[in-house]
């Protein structure tokens, strides 16, 4: 993948997020006067290698339009599906319709507003160099316990060689489209986009990512994210 191939972010935002104990989808929760999805898009679109974004929404979504989100780069929207991979596939087909197959798709959670530009550069560079794409990931550092009956510990698992998958996950557009079509056509269960590519026999690269790239899934995460965001802003001001 040469550097001339454009990079487009695909941001699935069709989920509800019941664990947040909120009446609104978690991507529309806010800190510092902006919603999580706005913070995430701000971070992506301010990166010089990302050409624009496709935001994938629920059909019933009435909040996105009210945000009136503005950016210097193009932002398109489309409608998602029942599962996350259905929404990603919808975003990719929108991208293909507008720009053809010669593009790199950067899939990023709408509720990861803290990804650094350095991590974005690293994973994009790895995906350009590796035909199977690349994902941000973090090595597992905690001890892993396997649950048995009655919440008893059944086994202690080795964490050697284990990584937590983060986003962005970055692939050539056609590679990920083909992989997700196979998943959808065969009704397969996957937990991230890289797994779809793996099922096609490919081996995406792992790119070490910063632990501050937090996914907001519970109320406490929102408070933590604001603190990290403020610290990142202060560090930028000091540079």
Q: Which domains does the chain have, with CATH numbers?
A: 7-238 (3.90.550.10)
Cα 32 from chain centroid (whole Å): 22
What's the pLDDT at 23?
76
DSSP-assigned letter for residue 3: T
Which pLDDT tens digits describe the chain residue by residue (239 residues)? 447 899 999 999 987 655 555 678 999 999 999 999 999 999 999 999 999 999 999 999 999 999 999 999 999 999 999 999 999 999 999 999 998 999 999 999 999 999 999 999 999 999 999 999 999 999 999 999 999 999 999 999 999 999 999 999 999 999 999 999 999 999 999 999 999 999 999 999 999 999 999 999 888 899 999 999 999 888 877 66
**pTM for the model:** 0.93
Residue 200, burial from CB neighbour count under 10 angstroms (0-12, 13-18, 19+)? middle
Report the first-to-last Cα separation within the chain, whole angstroms: 32
Torsion, Cα 20 213 223 32, to 10 degrees, reads -100
């Amino acid at each position: 993948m040469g550097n001339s191939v454009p990079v487009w972010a695909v941001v699935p935002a069709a989920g509800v997020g019941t664990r947040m104990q909120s009446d609104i989808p978690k991507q529309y929760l806010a800190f510092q006067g902006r919603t999580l999805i706005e913070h995430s898009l701000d971070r992506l679109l301010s990166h010089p290698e990302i050409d624009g974004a496709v935001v994938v929404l629920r059909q019933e979504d009435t909040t996105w339009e009210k945000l009136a989100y503005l950016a210097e780069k193009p932002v398109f929207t489309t409608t998602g599906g029942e599962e996350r991979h259905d929404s990603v596939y919808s975003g990719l087909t929108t991208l293909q319709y507008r720009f053809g197959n010669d593009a790199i798709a950067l899939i990023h959670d709408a509720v990861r507003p803290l990804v650094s530009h350095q991590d974005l550069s690293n994973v994009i560079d790895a995906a350009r160099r590796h035909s199977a794409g690349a994902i941000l990931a973090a090595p597992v550092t905690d001890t892993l316990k396997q649950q048995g009956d009655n919440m008893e510990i059944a086994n202690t698992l080795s964490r050697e060689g284990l990584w937590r998958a983060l986003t962005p996950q970055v692939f050539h557009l056609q590679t990920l489209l083909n992989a997700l079509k196979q998943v959808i056509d065969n009704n397969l269960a996957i937990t991230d986009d890289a797994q779809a590519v793996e099922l096609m026999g490919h081996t995406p690269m792992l790119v070490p990512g910063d632990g501050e790239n937090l996914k907001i899934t519970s109320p406490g995460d929102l408070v933590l994210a604001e603190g990290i965001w403020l610290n990142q802003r202060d560090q930028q001001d000091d540079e």
